[in-house]
Amino acid sequence: MSPWSAARAALRVYAAGAAVILAQLLRRLLGGFAEPVCARQPGRVAIVTGGTEGIGLATCRRLALLGMRVIIAGNDVTKGHQAERSLRAETGNPEVEFSYCDLASMRSIREFVLKFKERNLPVHVLVNNAGVMMVPERQETADGFEQHFGVNYLGHFLLTLLLLDTLERSGRPGAHARVVSVSSATHYVGELALDDLQSRNGYSPHAAYAQSKLALVLFTYHLQALLDARGSPVSALVADPGVVDTALYRHVFWGTRLVQKLLGRWLFKTPDEGARTSVFAALAPELEGAGGRYLYGVREARSLALTYDRQLQRALWAQSCRLARVRDPATDSIPE
Protein backbone atom coordinates (compact mmCIF):
# COMPACT_ATOMS: atom_id res chain seq x y z
CA MET A 1 0.00 0.00 0.00
CA SER A 2 1.38 3.38 -1.00
CA PRO A 3 1.90 6.15 1.58
CA TRP A 4 -0.91 8.09 -0.08
CA SER A 5 -3.32 5.14 0.20
CA ALA A 6 -2.38 4.62 3.86
CA ALA A 7 -2.91 8.32 4.61
CA ARG A 8 -6.23 8.26 2.79
CA ALA A 9 -7.38 5.26 4.82
CA ALA A 10 -6.41 6.99 8.08
CA LEU A 11 -8.20 10.21 7.16
CA ARG A 12 -11.35 8.33 6.18
CA VAL A 13 -11.39 6.34 9.42
CA TYR A 14 -10.87 9.43 11.60
CA ALA A 15 -13.51 11.35 9.63
CA ALA A 16 -16.01 8.55 10.22
CA GLY A 17 -15.15 8.54 13.92
CA ALA A 18 -15.49 12.32 14.18
CA ALA A 19 -18.96 12.21 12.62
CA VAL A 20 -20.09 9.59 15.13
CA ILE A 21 -18.61 11.54 18.05
CA LEU A 22 -20.48 14.71 17.07
CA ALA A 23 -23.73 12.77 16.72
CA GLN A 24 -23.17 11.22 20.16
CA LEU A 25 -22.54 14.63 21.73
CA LEU A 26 -25.80 15.90 20.28
CA ARG A 27 -27.66 12.83 21.50
CA ARG A 28 -26.20 13.24 25.01
CA LEU A 29 -27.25 16.89 25.09
CA LEU A 30 -30.76 15.91 23.99
CA GLY A 31 -31.24 13.42 26.80
CA GLY A 32 -28.86 10.52 26.35
CA PHE A 33 -28.96 7.07 24.80
CA ALA A 34 -32.05 4.88 24.80
CA GLU A 35 -32.20 1.84 27.04
CA PRO A 36 -33.30 -1.48 25.52
CA VAL A 37 -36.32 -2.97 27.27
CA CYS A 38 -35.87 -6.72 27.64
CA ALA A 39 -37.63 -9.33 29.73
CA ARG A 40 -35.75 -11.63 32.07
CA GLN A 41 -34.09 -14.60 30.38
CA PRO A 42 -33.85 -17.47 32.90
CA GLY A 43 -32.69 -20.78 31.47
CA ARG A 44 -31.13 -19.21 28.39
CA VAL A 45 -27.43 -19.32 27.50
CA ALA A 46 -25.21 -16.64 25.96
CA ILE A 47 -21.60 -16.76 24.77
CA VAL A 48 -19.81 -13.41 24.56
CA THR A 49 -16.33 -13.14 23.06
CA GLY A 50 -14.02 -10.53 24.51
CA GLY A 51 -16.15 -10.40 27.62
CA THR A 52 -13.35 -9.60 30.07
CA GLU A 53 -13.34 -5.81 29.56
CA GLY A 54 -14.95 -2.90 27.77
CA ILE A 55 -18.15 -3.40 25.79
CA GLY A 56 -17.91 -7.17 26.16
CA LEU A 57 -17.78 -7.05 29.95
CA ALA A 58 -20.70 -4.59 30.03
CA THR A 59 -22.66 -6.89 27.72
CA CYS A 60 -22.01 -9.86 30.01
CA ARG A 61 -23.14 -7.82 33.01
CA ARG A 62 -26.43 -6.85 31.38
CA LEU A 63 -27.16 -10.41 30.23
CA ALA A 64 -26.31 -11.80 33.66
CA LEU A 65 -28.62 -9.28 35.34
CA LEU A 66 -31.41 -10.62 33.10
CA GLY A 67 -30.82 -14.12 34.46
CA MET A 68 -28.96 -15.69 31.55
CA ARG A 69 -26.17 -18.20 31.90
CA VAL A 70 -23.24 -16.21 30.49
CA ILE A 71 -20.07 -17.76 29.14
CA ILE A 72 -17.22 -15.27 28.83
CA ALA A 73 -14.96 -16.39 25.99
CA GLY A 74 -11.54 -14.75 26.14
CA ASN A 75 -7.80 -15.25 25.79
CA ASP A 76 -6.65 -13.77 29.12
CA VAL A 77 -7.12 -16.30 31.91
CA THR A 78 -6.40 -13.87 34.74
CA LYS A 79 -8.82 -11.22 33.47
CA GLY A 80 -11.34 -13.91 32.64
CA HIS A 81 -11.54 -15.31 36.15
CA GLN A 82 -11.57 -11.78 37.59
CA ALA A 83 -14.53 -10.93 35.36
CA GLU A 84 -16.26 -14.16 36.36
CA ARG A 85 -15.91 -13.40 40.08
CA SER A 86 -16.85 -9.73 39.82
CA LEU A 87 -19.94 -10.37 37.67
CA ARG A 88 -21.18 -13.12 39.95
CA ALA A 89 -20.85 -10.75 42.91
CA GLU A 90 -22.37 -7.72 41.13
CA THR A 91 -25.32 -9.49 39.56
CA GLY A 92 -26.03 -12.22 42.09
CA ASN A 93 -26.01 -14.64 39.18
CA PRO A 94 -23.86 -17.73 39.86
CA GLU A 95 -24.15 -18.87 36.23
CA VAL A 96 -21.39 -16.64 34.90
CA GLU A 97 -18.25 -18.45 33.85
CA PHE A 98 -15.04 -17.91 31.93
CA SER A 99 -13.86 -20.25 29.19
CA TYR A 100 -10.59 -19.86 27.31
CA CYS A 101 -10.85 -19.07 23.61
CA ASP A 102 -8.14 -17.36 21.58
CA LEU A 103 -9.66 -15.98 18.39
CA ALA A 104 -6.16 -15.66 16.93
CA SER A 105 -5.92 -19.46 16.83
CA MET A 106 -8.17 -21.74 14.76
CA ARG A 107 -7.11 -24.62 17.00
CA SER A 108 -8.13 -22.75 20.16
CA ILE A 109 -11.53 -21.92 18.67
CA ARG A 110 -12.14 -25.55 17.73
CA GLU A 111 -11.10 -26.70 21.21
CA PHE A 112 -13.42 -24.17 22.83
CA VAL A 113 -16.36 -25.37 20.75
CA LEU A 114 -15.54 -29.04 21.36
CA LYS A 115 -15.42 -28.56 25.13
CA PHE A 116 -18.61 -26.52 25.07
CA LYS A 117 -20.50 -29.12 23.07
CA GLU A 118 -19.42 -31.87 25.47
CA ARG A 119 -21.61 -30.16 28.08
CA ASN A 120 -24.77 -30.46 25.93
CA LEU A 121 -25.80 -26.90 26.67
CA PRO A 122 -27.91 -24.82 24.28
CA VAL A 123 -26.78 -21.48 22.84
CA HIS A 124 -29.49 -18.89 22.51
CA VAL A 125 -27.22 -15.88 21.98
CA LEU A 126 -23.74 -15.63 20.47
CA VAL A 127 -22.17 -12.17 20.65
CA ASN A 128 -19.12 -11.83 18.39
CA ASN A 129 -17.64 -8.90 20.27
CA ALA A 130 -13.87 -9.39 20.67
CA GLY A 131 -11.44 -7.43 18.54
CA VAL A 132 -8.18 -5.63 18.02
CA MET A 133 -7.91 -2.11 16.66
CA MET A 134 -5.32 -0.34 14.51
CA VAL A 135 -2.29 -2.43 15.47
CA PRO A 136 0.61 -0.22 14.26
CA GLU A 137 2.76 -2.89 12.62
CA ARG A 138 1.43 -5.79 10.60
CA GLN A 139 1.17 -8.89 12.78
CA GLU A 140 -0.10 -12.37 12.07
CA THR A 141 -2.22 -14.81 14.04
CA ALA A 142 -1.05 -18.31 14.88
CA ASP A 143 -2.41 -19.44 11.51
CA GLY A 144 -0.72 -16.72 9.45
CA PHE A 145 -3.67 -14.36 9.03
CA GLU A 146 -3.31 -10.59 9.34
CA GLN A 147 -4.36 -9.86 12.92
CA HIS A 148 -7.39 -7.62 12.30
CA PHE A 149 -8.77 -9.96 9.66
CA GLY A 150 -7.96 -13.08 11.70
CA VAL A 151 -9.23 -11.96 15.12
CA ASN A 152 -12.03 -9.51 14.33
CA TYR A 153 -13.51 -11.42 11.42
CA LEU A 154 -12.23 -14.90 10.54
CA GLY A 155 -12.10 -16.16 14.13
CA HIS A 156 -15.72 -15.15 14.63
CA PHE A 157 -16.65 -16.64 11.25
CA LEU A 158 -15.26 -20.02 12.31
CA LEU A 159 -16.75 -19.82 15.81
CA THR A 160 -20.20 -19.06 14.42
CA LEU A 161 -20.17 -21.87 11.88
CA LEU A 162 -18.93 -24.41 14.42
CA LEU A 163 -21.75 -23.42 16.80
CA LEU A 164 -24.41 -23.11 14.12
CA ASP A 165 -25.88 -26.59 14.68
CA THR A 166 -26.23 -25.86 18.39
CA LEU A 167 -27.79 -22.47 17.70
CA GLU A 168 -30.29 -24.06 15.32
CA ARG A 169 -31.27 -26.68 17.90
CA SER A 170 -31.60 -23.99 20.57
CA GLY A 171 -33.88 -21.68 18.60
CA ARG A 172 -37.49 -22.28 17.72
CA PRO A 173 -40.22 -20.44 15.82
CA GLY A 174 -41.14 -17.37 17.81
CA ALA A 175 -37.94 -17.58 19.87
CA HIS A 176 -35.02 -17.51 17.48
CA ALA A 177 -31.46 -17.94 18.65
CA ARG A 178 -29.40 -14.91 17.66
CA VAL A 179 -25.90 -14.24 16.36
CA VAL A 180 -24.80 -10.65 17.03
CA SER A 181 -21.61 -9.42 15.38
CA VAL A 182 -20.17 -6.14 16.60
CA SER A 183 -19.05 -3.91 13.73
CA SER A 184 -18.51 -0.15 13.64
CA ALA A 185 -19.00 2.99 11.57
CA THR A 186 -15.53 2.44 10.11
CA HIS A 187 -17.09 -0.19 7.86
CA TYR A 188 -18.57 2.73 5.88
CA VAL A 189 -15.06 3.68 4.75
CA GLY A 190 -13.75 0.13 4.46
CA GLU A 191 -12.64 -1.59 1.28
CA LEU A 192 -12.55 -5.35 0.79
CA ALA A 193 -9.39 -6.51 -1.00
CA LEU A 194 -10.43 -10.02 -2.01
CA ASP A 195 -7.07 -10.55 -3.70
CA ASP A 196 -5.13 -9.44 -0.59
CA LEU A 197 -7.25 -10.01 2.50
CA GLN A 198 -4.07 -10.45 4.58
CA SER A 199 -2.59 -7.05 3.61
CA ARG A 200 0.61 -8.66 2.34
CA ASN A 201 0.97 -6.15 -0.50
CA GLY A 202 1.03 -3.20 1.89
CA TYR A 203 -0.27 -2.62 5.38
CA SER A 204 -2.34 0.18 6.86
CA PRO A 205 -3.73 -0.36 10.38
CA HIS A 206 -6.69 1.84 9.54
CA ALA A 207 -7.52 0.05 6.30
CA ALA A 208 -7.07 -3.37 7.93
CA TYR A 209 -9.39 -2.49 10.82
CA ALA A 210 -12.05 -1.01 8.53
CA GLN A 211 -11.85 -4.07 6.23
CA SER A 212 -12.42 -6.44 9.17
CA LYS A 213 -15.53 -4.52 10.24
CA LEU A 214 -16.82 -4.43 6.67
CA ALA A 215 -16.28 -8.19 6.41
CA LEU A 216 -18.43 -8.76 9.51
CA VAL A 217 -21.37 -6.97 7.89
CA LEU A 218 -21.05 -8.92 4.63
CA PHE A 219 -20.78 -12.15 6.62
CA THR A 220 -23.89 -11.39 8.66
CA TYR A 221 -26.04 -10.67 5.62
CA HIS A 222 -24.94 -13.82 3.78
CA LEU A 223 -25.39 -15.91 6.92
CA GLN A 224 -28.95 -14.63 7.24
CA ALA A 225 -29.66 -15.51 3.61
CA LEU A 226 -28.48 -19.08 4.26
CA LEU A 227 -30.51 -19.32 7.46
CA ASP A 228 -33.63 -18.09 5.66
CA ALA A 229 -33.12 -20.64 2.88
CA ARG A 230 -32.98 -23.42 5.50
CA GLY A 231 -35.97 -22.11 7.45
CA SER A 232 -33.64 -21.94 10.43
CA PRO A 233 -34.81 -20.50 13.78
CA VAL A 234 -31.68 -18.34 14.03
CA SER A 235 -31.30 -14.62 13.32
CA ALA A 236 -28.02 -12.87 12.48
CA LEU A 237 -27.65 -9.15 13.20
CA VAL A 238 -24.95 -6.47 13.22
CA ALA A 239 -24.52 -4.17 16.22
CA ASP A 240 -22.75 -0.83 15.87
CA PRO A 241 -22.06 0.44 19.40
CA GLY A 242 -20.71 3.86 18.35
CA VAL A 243 -17.49 5.37 19.67
CA VAL A 244 -16.97 3.92 23.14
CA ASP A 245 -14.47 4.80 25.86
CA THR A 246 -12.43 1.58 26.03
CA ALA A 247 -8.80 0.46 25.94
CA LEU A 248 -9.10 -0.36 22.22
CA TYR A 249 -7.97 3.18 21.42
CA ARG A 250 -4.45 2.66 22.74
CA HIS A 251 -3.05 2.44 19.19
CA VAL A 252 -4.88 5.40 17.63
CA PHE A 253 -3.53 8.86 16.80
CA TRP A 254 -2.30 10.66 19.95
CA GLY A 255 -4.75 13.52 19.36
CA THR A 256 -7.67 11.10 19.54
CA ARG A 257 -6.33 9.64 22.79
CA LEU A 258 -6.03 13.16 24.22
CA VAL A 259 -9.63 13.92 23.27
CA GLN A 260 -10.67 10.61 24.84
CA LYS A 261 -8.89 11.49 28.08
CA LEU A 262 -10.10 15.09 28.37
CA LEU A 263 -13.56 14.99 26.81
CA GLY A 264 -14.44 11.31 26.76
CA ARG A 265 -17.25 11.65 29.28
CA TRP A 266 -19.08 13.93 26.85
CA LEU A 267 -18.04 12.67 23.42
CA PHE A 268 -17.58 8.94 23.95
CA LYS A 269 -20.13 6.41 25.11
CA THR A 270 -19.41 4.50 28.29
CA PRO A 271 -18.93 0.73 27.85
CA ASP A 272 -22.40 0.20 29.35
CA GLU A 273 -23.95 2.62 26.85
CA GLY A 274 -22.10 0.89 24.03
CA ALA A 275 -23.30 -2.52 25.20
CA ARG A 276 -26.92 -1.48 24.89
CA THR A 277 -26.86 -2.07 21.13
CA SER A 278 -25.52 -5.62 21.52
CA VAL A 279 -28.13 -6.43 24.17
CA PHE A 280 -30.89 -4.90 22.04
CA ALA A 281 -29.80 -7.02 19.07
CA ALA A 282 -29.56 -10.13 21.23
CA LEU A 283 -32.87 -9.90 23.10
CA ALA A 284 -35.28 -7.22 21.88
CA PRO A 285 -38.70 -8.79 21.20
CA GLU A 286 -39.33 -6.41 18.30
CA LEU A 287 -36.43 -8.02 16.44
CA GLU A 288 -37.85 -11.55 16.72
CA GLY A 289 -37.31 -13.26 13.37
CA ALA A 290 -35.91 -10.06 11.88
CA GLY A 291 -32.34 -10.95 11.01
CA GLY A 292 -30.03 -9.44 8.43
CA ARG A 293 -30.19 -5.96 9.95
CA TYR A 294 -27.62 -3.34 10.89
CA LEU A 295 -28.41 -1.75 14.24
CA TYR A 296 -27.11 1.53 15.62
CA GLY A 297 -28.30 2.29 19.12
CA VAL A 298 -31.76 0.78 19.40
CA ARG A 299 -32.81 1.33 15.80
CA GLU A 300 -32.10 -0.09 12.38
CA ALA A 301 -29.74 1.80 10.05
CA ARG A 302 -28.52 1.36 6.49
CA SER A 303 -25.05 -0.07 6.18
CA LEU A 304 -22.66 0.72 3.33
CA ALA A 305 -24.34 0.08 -0.03
CA LEU A 306 -21.59 -2.37 -0.94
CA THR A 307 -22.60 -4.69 1.90
CA TYR A 308 -25.84 -5.59 0.10
CA ASP A 309 -23.92 -6.96 -2.91
CA ARG A 310 -24.85 -10.67 -2.92
CA GLN A 311 -21.97 -11.59 -5.22
CA LEU A 312 -19.44 -9.94 -2.91
CA GLN A 313 -21.02 -11.64 0.10
CA ARG A 314 -20.69 -15.03 -1.59
CA ALA A 315 -17.10 -14.40 -2.67
CA LEU A 316 -16.00 -13.46 0.84
CA TRP A 317 -17.92 -16.40 2.32
CA ALA A 318 -16.24 -18.89 -0.01
CA GLN A 319 -12.79 -17.51 0.75
CA SER A 320 -13.53 -17.57 4.46
CA CYS A 321 -14.57 -21.24 4.35
CA ARG A 322 -11.34 -22.09 2.54
CA LEU A 323 -9.14 -20.11 4.92
CA ALA A 324 -10.81 -21.47 8.06
CA ARG A 325 -11.05 -24.99 6.60
CA VAL A 326 -14.69 -25.24 7.55
CA ARG A 327 -17.58 -26.70 5.59
CA ASP A 328 -20.05 -24.35 3.93
CA PRO A 329 -23.45 -25.11 5.53
CA ALA A 330 -25.13 -24.63 2.16
CA THR A 331 -23.10 -27.35 0.41
CA ASP A 332 -21.65 -29.35 3.31
CA SER A 333 -18.24 -29.03 1.66
CA ILE A 334 -15.17 -26.80 1.78
CA PRO A 335 -15.06 -24.61 -1.37
CA GLU A 336 -12.13 -25.26 -3.69
What tens digit of pLDDT does each residue of 102-117 get?
A: 999 999 999 999 999 9
Separation of alpha carbons 155 and 135, rounded Å: 17
What end-to-end distance do the CA atoms of the chain give, in Å?
28
> How is the chain split into domains, by residue range?
39-242+286-324
Q: Is the pLDDT of residue 261 over 60?
A: no
Helix and strand totals (H; E) in the chain: 10, 8
Separation of alpha carbons 71 and 97, rounded Å: 5
Q: Is the pLDDT of residue 149 over 50?
A: yes
299: left (phi over 0), alpha (psi -120 to 50) or beta: beta
pLDDT band with cut points at 50, 70 and 90 for residue 256: low
pLDDT confidence of residue 5: 75
pLDDT confidence of residue 263: 57
Can 209 be counted among the known catalytic residues?
yes
Q: Which of 153, 188, 203, 209 is catalytic?
A: 209
- Burial class of residue 286 in the structure, from the number of CB atoms within 10 Å of its CB (0-12 exposed, 13-18 middle, 19+ buried): exposed
Please tell me the CATH code under which domain 39-242+286-324 is placed. Answer: 3.40.50.720
pLDDT confidence of residue 254: 47
Average pLDDT, the chain: 92
Average pLDDT (1-6) is 69
Strands 125-128 and 177-182: parallel
pLDDT band with cut points at 50, 70 and 90 for residue 258: low
Q: Is the pLDDT of residue 225 over 70?
A: yes
